Structure formats: C-alpha cells, structure tokens
Amino acid sequence: QKREISNFDYLMYLNTLAGRSYNDYMQYPVFPWVLADYHSETLNLTNPQTFRDLSKPMGAQTVERKHKFIQRFNEVEKSEGDPSAQCHYCTHYSSAIIVASYLVRMEPFTQTFCSLQGGSFDVADRMFHSVKSTWESASRDNMSDVRELTPEFFYLPEFLTNANHFEFGCMQDGTVLGDVQLPPWADGDPHKFILLHRQALESDYVSAHLHCWIDLIFGHKQHGSAAVEAVNTYHPYFYGDKMDLNNIKDPLIKSTILGFISNFGQIPKQV
C-alpha cells in the first residue's frame, strides 16, 4: 500500500512463509495468471477487461466452467463415495510436472520433465508451446487443468526460447515445437513479453485486487466453508498439513497418499 515493496517481492515473501521453495518442485513458488488478453496487438493495462478475475480460482473463470465444477462437487455428495473426498478439483494449480513443463526448455528442468514423464518428452501437442492456448486450457477449455504460473513468467525470458535446440517433435498440424508462441502484443520478443507481463503484475488493477487471489491460495478461502463458497476446494490429499500421516498405519495407503502429493501438488501452508 505504501509502494515500498513490489507485488512480485510480496508474493515471493508469502510463498516463502507458506513453505514454498525453488528447491522443491512439489512446493515451487506459485504466481497468478494476471492477464486474460493474449490476442490484442497492444496491451491496455488501464482496461479492467485486460485482466483475469483475481477473486476467482482458475476453475471459476467462466460461468459455465464454474457450474460444472460445482456440479462435480455436489455429485460426490450424492454418490456412495467417501464424502471426505468431496472437492471441486482433482488436479492442482502447482505441481512438479506443471513447473517442469513450463521450464522444460532449460536445464535442469528438461531432465526433470523427462524423468517425470518416464524418460522422454510428452506428445508435442500436450507440451507447453503457447501462452495463449495454455491460458485458454487452464481458464476455460480443460476440466483437468487449473494451473497457475511460476515466478519465471515475470522475470526470465530465457525459458520461452528453445536455445538448447531440444527436439520436442511436431504437433498434429505439422508445426515443429521450438520456442513458445507469444501473444501478438509481445511482437515475438520474449524480453518484451516479460517486460509487459511484469508491468501487468505491478499495475494499479492487480495491486488493487491481488489480495483476493492471496486469500484463495494462502489465506482463509483455502479450505473450509469459505473455500466451498469460493469454488476453491481440492482433493483432501492436497492439503498436506491436514493429513496426519503418522496416524495412518496401512503402509499401502500411506505410500498412495505420498505418491499422490508428489505427483499432483500440495496446497501451501496457510499464512
């Protein structure tokens, strides 16, 4: 509020307090999508329509999608299944594979991605290849995709270029997968993309609404009735600090939970 610290620094501080670290891909720092405009020739940071709705999780960015996730939540309640597993999302907004897929063009993330994928790159069409299509998938199109961003989207142009000339293969339309496709307003320049994206993060609109996103990820809307109301509940296994593994005697259940967490991600500690 006093403009003595940037939004970027504040988010990094919160991530650290919540136990997130660059040293742990399973608990990597998580940053928000801040823009919703990946099609305009120029980026207008004075127009509220340019921005993502920071008061809603990625699963509730469109009305239609939000209702589908609410329906899923209600169906678990009616079914014979375990009511404690009632949730809106069975996938997570930050996990080792999400981090490695975003940063796959740089080592050591390339090797990490391949090891998580069983030793090779994924099918080209499923690789991170376009900022616009990734936003559309995570905010609208794909019911199993609610991913947020990593800090690198706001300071590191190198992760957007295939400087190491990795052979990721061809997409179904014949496009050879190389550098990440950028929005028109970036003019094909990764440095310009990072500059404008960082300006968006530090803009007046984001500064005025960032606390809403922080409530969802690090605050009181993380779990409980406030999370249900905000369409922001995840599979119980994602809440690492709520799972008392010491009391679980069955080694198979214990290893299943640990495997689930390592593969799909963890909710940050509430701060």
* 268 cis-preceded (ω within 30 degrees of 0): no
pLDDT band at 264 (very low <50, low <70, confident <90, very high): confident
pLDDT exceeds cutoff 60 at 81 = no
What is the pLDDT at residue 119?
87
pTM, to two decimals? 0.92
Of the candidate ranges 33-42, 64-73, 122-131, the one whose mean pLDDT is the lowest:
122-131
Q: Give mean pLDDT, residues 6-11.
A: 98
Domains of the chain in sequence order = 7-262 (1.10.1540.10)
Cβ-contact 182, 193 below 8 angstroms:
yes
What is the pLDDT at residue 243?
64
Residue given tokens 């000339």 in the structure block: 165
What is the pLDDT at residue 254?
76
How many CB atoms neighbour CB 235 within 10 A? Answer: 19
> Percent of the chain, pLDDT > 70?
94
Residue given tokens 């440095």 in the structure block: 191
DSSP per-residue string spanning the chain: --SSS-HHHHHHHHHHHTT--TT-GGG---B---B---S-SS--TT-GGGB--TTS-GGGSSHHHHHHHHHHHHHHHHSSS-GGG--SBSS-SS-HHHHHHHTTTSTTHHHHHHHHTTSSPPPGGGS--BHHHHHHIIIII-TT----B-GGGGT-GGGGS-TT-----B-TTSPBP-SPBPPGGGTT-HHHHHHHHHHHHTSHHHHHHHHHHHHHHTSTTSSSHHHHHTT--B-GGG-GGG--GGG---HHHHHHHHHHHHHH--PPPP-
Q: ∠ at Cα 134 (152, 11), nearest 5°?
A: 35
> Percent of the chain, pLDDT > 90?
74
Residue given tokens 């606390």 in the structure block: 211
pLDDT in tens, 130-148: 999 999 999 999 999 999 9
Average pLDDT, the chain: 91
Q: How far is CA 98 from the centre of its chain?
A: 7
What is the pLDDT at residue 111?
94
pLDDT in tens, 200-255: 999 999 999 999 999 999 999 998 999 999 999 998 888 876 666 667 777 887 77
